[in-house]
Amino acid sequence: MEPVTLITGCSSGIGLETALLLASRGHRVYATMRDLSRGAALRERAAAAGVELEPLTLDVTAPATIAAAVAVVEEREGRLTNLVNNAGFSYFGILEHFSEDEIRDQFDTNVFGPLRVTRAFLPLLRRDASTRRTLVNVTSLNARVVYPLMGLYAATKFALLGLTEEWRHELRPFGIRAVSVEPGPIETKFGGGSLKRPAGYDPAGSPYRPIVEAAEESFARLTTRDAGPPSKVARKILRAIEARNPRLHWPCGPLTKVSTLSLRFAPYGFVEWALRRNAGLNKIGRITHEEGVGEG
């Protein structure tokens, strides 16, 4: 029987590439997105590749759309082999600058979203008779280590990694394997159009301004010059799904090898120094008062 796979966030980037790759490998793919009118790129690429996909509306923050998607898959397939929780986005900014609504917005999509979607689809995953069934959570290198000014986002990915560990315990007896796919910087809308900043940040009035400016510059470099292609993550997801006994962590893309090695073998002080240096924060002297940067 062909595997039935549902993926969230397929209008662009990693979700789009994963939908195309899995469809080309014989999966029946439910390529979901919150707004089907944003599916033109996916439809064009699928037509060019000669693969078929099932587009479906699903907003991970809207329980009614999740329930409707479950009803469609249940009626058409009666089962689900793989679920890929990919939809997500990042805020970039100083923790003190975020409003409570912005903090909730970040957690709603990146943590409560995959939690809702997984809980809703688990009965269909349990019903599938395939020997290899996988719950893939796209977390991030930021689920292992925090890049400066990505702490709010990283907190959501740390949380999703924690849920993934719990699902490994809970779902193993059913033969469902939970994995965390952990991309480094990837060239998608993630670091561009999808990136959000705290609306209340006022550079003129913030003592954090030198930190924000340095980190903004390095982040722009990270998400363009240093970034890898989303197809690389799609291939890693496929490998995790096809693995006989998949491990928890699936790092992939630029910087993940060096980060994984550093996290395993170097003292945390070194990792912290390297991150600060990378983000240009090591050049900032002590900020002595609310107005600006001091000497020391």
Catalytic center residues: 153
- C-alpha distances (whole Å) from 240 to each of 28, 194, 248 are 17, 26, 9
- Residue 238 belongs to what H/E stretch? helix 230-242
Smallest Cα–Cα separation from 142: which of 190, 75, 192? 190
The span from the CA of 126 to the CA of 84, in Å, is 15
**Of 89 and 201, which CB lies nearer to ligand NAP in the complex structure?**
89
Contact residues for 169 (Cβ-Cβ < 8 A; gap 6+)? none
State the nearest-atom distance from the C-beta of 168 to ligand NAP, in Å: 19
88: phi then psi, degrees, rounded to nearest 5: 175, 165
Q: Encoding tokens for residue 115?
A: 């939690």
5 near ligand NAP, judged by CB under 6 A: no
Is residue 106 at the binding interface for ligand NAP, with CB under 6 A as the rule?
Answer: no
Binding residue for ligand NAP (CB under 6 A) from 7, 87, 135, 152? Answer: 87
4 or 33: CB nearest ligand NAP:
33
- For ligand NAP, the closer of residues 17 and 128 by Cβ is 17
Our finding on whether 176 is near ligand NAP (CB under 6 A) is no
Q: What single-letter DSSP state applies at residue 109?
A: I
State both tokens at 247: 């491990």
Determine which residue in the list 82, 109, 180, 259 makes contact with ligand NAP, applying CB under 6 A: 109
Single out the residue of 24, 194, 206, 231 in contact with ligand NAP (rule: CB under 6 A).
194
Between 31 and 209, name the residue whose CB sits nearer to ligand NAP: 31
Q: Contacting ligand NAP (CB under 6 A), which of 3, 6, 7, 11?
A: 11
111 touches 159 (CB < 8 A): yes
Contact 184, 253 (CB under 8 A): yes
Span near ligand NAP by CB under 6 A; candidates 20-28, 179-187, 210-218, 236-244: 179-187
Stretch that binds ligand NAP, among 87-95, 97-105, 239-247, 283-291 (CB under 6 A): 87-95
User: CA nearest 187: which of 17, 38, 48, 43?
Assistant: 17
Please report, as residue ranges, which positions from 121 to 150 form the binding site for ligand NAP (by CB under 6 A): 138, 140
Cβ atoms 204, 95 nearer than 8 A: no
Binding site for ligand NAP (CB under 6 A): 8-9, 11-15, 33-35, 38, 59-61, 86-89, 109, 113, 138, 140, 183, 185-186, 188-191, 194, 230
